Structures are given as structure tokens and as C-alpha cells.
Amino acid sequence: MLRFEKWEGLGNDFILLEEELSPEQVRRLCDRHRGVGADGVIAVEAIQASRCRMIVHNADGSRPEMCGNGLRCVAAYVADRGASKAGAVVVLTDAGERLCRPVRQSEGRYRVSASMGVAEVGGVLETPAHVGATGRPFRMVRVGNPHAVSFAPFVSEDVEELGRAVDQLVEGGANVELCKIGDGGRQVEVSVWERGVGLTEACGTGACAVVAAAAGAGQLPFDEPIDVVLAGGVLEITVARDSWALTMVGPARRVFVGETLV
């Protein structure tokens, strides 16, 4: 029997355990009809009391370089065991070390501030005319993993079609974010197509990519917290003007603890 914990951050849900599984086992566990059901599986390997490594697999068994919502869940998971010192947890990811500060709000519920590394804002991907009927520009951004961000007008029915099409256009695939800047210039609404998962309630690295792209284009300010409104809730993202360093603040919640056959 395999012991696990189910955690979620803004509806982006994960199976956390302390051993790495094969891609086939991940796919079986993530199946929402025949398995536990989740957007991904994260293996948490202890290094020291307040340091750990996270190994992420998407629901299709693929390995993303980074996962922001998963990062918050891992930090909360470590803190939930009383293992963090001075309120800080260092998580080693495939994209580098990330310093997290989980704050317990109630039983199994945390609010986590996490350093998300440095945004790399790249060029523009011009999609063919048949993608989204007339084509549209996507700004490419790396936040440990690749993102394609568009601020062109869209309707909710476009998200799945555009997400799948743009994901296939980028070598190695990409997460896709369709965005709308809110009134007042301190908020942005985002719909997400996640590589290896599909439509998701939220994407932490995607929220970071959107704010970095918008700040670089002068649509949102640097050095101020921006509310990123996703289907699953709100993340607070700040990007530094001098370094492009990103900070993410958002929730993580333990859903249940269980055992399963693999």
C-alpha cells in the first residue's frame, strides 16, 4: 500500500508522497475515474529538517521543470510536519532552489509566500491565421518552465482550442495563458492551458509569467503586488524591476490523507 496526502492550491490538486513513481503509475493515480484523481504527483524527498527536493509529474506522466502551486503545497506539507525552522522551507526544484514561508492559518490550511526565481521574457510567437480564427501574438516567458502569454481579446470557449494549438506549436510544448488586464491596473484575469494537464483551475508559474510579461509591456507596474484572478481563486504576484525576481503568495490546503494500491 502506498501512503499519500492530497493537497490543493486554488483547485490545482496534487498527490504528495515520499517516493518517486513511474510515469505509468502517475497516470493511473491521477485518473479521476479509476485512481485517486489529481493534476499531478509530487515526490517529496527530505534533505535536511527544513530542506527538501520536489519531483513533479503531470497527470500524463511528463516532468515539468517547475510547478508554482505544487511548490506551495510542498512547503505547507513540510511545515505541517513541524519540520520547518524559523518559518522557512527551502525546496530544491528542477529550476533551482526556492525559499518558501508557509504560515499556518488553521488545521491543514496555509498561506505561503514563495520566491519564484527570475522571469526571462523572450520574443513574440505569431500564431498562424487558423489558430484562433485570425491568429494572435503570444509573448514567450520562462519562469523555470515555458509559457506563452496573450493579452489579445478572447472568449472562454477559445481557451481549450487555443491552448492545445499553441502548446503544439512550441517545441517541447508550453503552458498557455489568455489574459485580460482589469480596471485600475492592479489586477489581471487569466485562463490557463497547462502543458501535460489541459485546462486547469490555476497555474502559479503561469501567474508569474503573465505579470512579468505585462510589466515588461508597461501594462502592469513593477515592485507592486498584482492580483492574478484565476478560475480557482487569486494569487498575489510581484516582479522586481531591477532583477525580474518574482514572488508569489497564495494558499495551500491538505484535502485528505489516504492509502492506495499502485
Q: What is d(CA 214, CA 221) in angstroms, rounded to the nearest whole number?
A: 8
pLDDT, greater one: 153 or 249 = 249
Which of the four pLDDT bands, split at 50, 70 and 90, describes residue 156? Answer: confident
Do 130 and 237 belong to one domain? yes
pLDDT at position 122: 97
Q: What is the CATH number of the domain that holds 15?
A: 3.10.310.10
Which residues fall within 8 angstroms of residue 181, CB to CB, at 6 or more apart? 151, 187, 188, 214, 219, 220
| pLDDT at residue 132 tops 60 | no
Do 145 and 243 belong to one domain? yes
Whether residue 203 lies in the annotated active site: yes
Are the beta carbons of 40 and 70 closer than 8 angstroms? yes
| pLDDT at residue 85 tops 70 | no
Do 108 and 176 belong to one domain? no
| pLDDT at residue 29 tops 90 | yes
pLDDT at position 126: 83
Do 34 and 136 belong to one domain? no
Distances (CA, A) of 115 to 144, 205, 238: 12, 11, 10
Do 80 and 187 belong to one domain? no
Do 211 and 179 belong to one domain? yes
- In degrees, rounded to 5, the angle at the alpha carbon of residue 157 between the alpha carbons of residues 153 and 159 is 70
| pLDDT at residue 133 tops 80 | no
Do 97 and 157 belong to one domain? no
Do 199 and 98 belong to one domain? no
Do 68 and 126 belong to one domain? no
| pLDDT at residue 110 tops 60 | yes
Mean pLDDT of 33-58: 94
Q: Is 47 helix (H, G, I), strand (E, B) or coil?
A: strand
Domain ranges, residue 109: 2-116+250-260
Mean pLDDT of 93-113: 97
Mean pLDDT of 17-33: 97
Q: Which of 52, 73, 100, 203 is catalytic?
A: 203
The tally of domains found in the chain comes to 2
Which of the four pLDDT bands, split at 50, 70 and 90, describes residue 9? Answer: very high
Q: What is d(CA 109, CA 118) in angstroms, rounded to the nearest whole number?
A: 28
Do 174 and 217 belong to one domain? yes
Instruction: Provide the 10 A C-beta neighbour count for residue 197.
Output: 21
Task: From 215, 203, 211, select the one nearest 176 (Cα to Cα).
Answer: 203
Which residue pairs from 180-185 have beta carbons closer than 8 angstroms and sit at least 24 positions apart in sequence? Answer: 180/151, 180/153, 181/151, 181/214, 181/219, 181/220, 182/227, 182/229, 185/219, 185/220, 185/221
Whether residue 67 lies in the annotated active site: yes
Which of the four pLDDT bands, split at 50, 70 and 90, describes residue 129? Answer: low
pLDDT, greater one: 185 or 44 = 44
Task: From 13, 12, 154, 21, select the one nearest 3 (Cα to Cα).
Answer: 21
Do 143 and 111 belong to one domain? no
Instruction: Render pLDDT for 213-244 as a digit per residue (tens, 0 to 9).
Output: 999 999 999 999 999 999 999 999 999 999 99
Mean pLDDT of 132-138: 71
Do 69 and 134 belong to one domain? no
Instruction: Provide the 10 A C-beta neighbour count for residue 166.
Output: 24
Q: Which of 52, 67, 73, 100 is catalytic?
A: 67
| pLDDT at residue 84 tops 90 | no
